[in-house]
Amino acid sequence: RSADRYGDQGPDNFYVRATAANVASFPYLQDQYDRGTGMVIDNPDPTAGAFNRLINYSTAPGFSYQDREDDFETSWDQIRLNVDHSFENVDFSSITSYDETYATERNGGELTGFSPMREGDWRFWQQEFRLTSTSDGPVQWLTGIYLTGSDSEEDTWVANVGAAGGMGVGPGIDIDSTYEAWSVYGQADWQVNDAWTLSAGLRHTDDKLSAENGNWRRTVCGFAPSDTGQSAWTRDFRAAGCPGLTPGRVTGNTDSPVQELSELGWKLGASYLLGDTSMLFASASHGFKGGAYDNRALSTGDDPIAPEFLTAVEFGFKSEFLDNTLQLNAAAYFYDWEDLQLFESYGGIPALVNVPGIDISGIEVEFKWAPNERWYFQGGLGTADTEVVDVTGLNPASAAEVGKEVTNSPDLTYNVLGTYTLPLSSGELSLMLNYRYESEYFFSFVQNAGGYDESEAHGYLNARAGYTFGGDQQYQVSVWGNNLTEEFACGGVGYGAGAGGNLNFGCNIKEYGEAQYGLTFEARFGAN
| Residue 430 CB neighbour total at 10 angstroms | 18
The reported pLDDT for the residue numbered 455 is: 83
Considering only CA atoms, which of 214, 225, 220, 242 is closest in space to residue 172?
220
| pLDDT bracket for residue 503 (50, 70, 90) | low
Q: What is the pLDDT of residues 276-316, one digit of tens each?
A: 889 999 999 999 988 887 777 666 555 668 889 999 999 99
| Residue 527 CB neighbour total at 10 angstroms | 5
Print burial letters for 171-197: b (CB count within 10 Å at least 16), e (below 16): bbbbbbbbbebebebebebeeeeeeeb
Ramachandran quadrant class, 10 (left: phi over 0; alpha: psi -120 to 50; beta: rest): beta
81 residue type, one letter: L
- With a pLDDT cut of 70, the percent of the chain lying above it is 72
Alpha helices (H) in 25-101, listed in sequence order? 27-35, 68-71
Higher pLDDT, residue 46 or 391: 391
C-alpha to C-alpha distance for 17 and 453, rounded to whole angstroms: 12
Q: Are 401 and 413 in contact (CB under 8 A)?
A: no
**Which of 67-71, 144-148, 171-175, 515-519 has the weakest average pLDDT?**
67-71
C-alpha to C-alpha distance for 152 and 164, rounded to whole angstroms: 35
| pLDDT bracket for residue 319 (50, 70, 90) | very high
SS3 101: strand
| pLDDT bracket for residue 260 (50, 70, 90) | confident
Print burial letters for 352-375: b (CB count within 10 Å at least 16), e (below 16): bbbbbbbebebebbbbbbbeeeee
C-alpha to C-alpha distance for 381 and 255, rounded to whole angstroms: 49
| Residue 281 CB neighbour total at 10 angstroms | 17
The reported pLDDT for the residue numbered 242 is: 55
Q: Are 189 and 197 in contact (CB under 8 A)?
A: yes
Beta bridge partners of 335: 312, 360
The reported pLDDT for the residue numbered 467 is: 95
| pLDDT bracket for residue 248 (50, 70, 90) | very low
The reported pLDDT for the residue numbered 1 is: 26
80 residue type, one letter: R
- With a pLDDT cut of 90, the percent of the chain lying above it is 44
Report pTM. 0.76
Considering only CA atoms, which of 480, 410, 477, 405 is closest in space to residue 444?
405
DSSP code at position 250: P
Q: What does pLDDT average to over the chain?
A: 80
Higher pLDDT, residue 156 or 234: 156
DSSP code at position 227: S
Range with the largest mean pLDDT of 16-25, 34-43, 286-295, 435-444: 435-444
The reported pLDDT for the residue numbered 479 is: 97
| pLDDT bracket for residue 2 (50, 70, 90) | very low
| Residue 33 CB neighbour total at 10 angstroms | 22
386 residue type, one letter: T
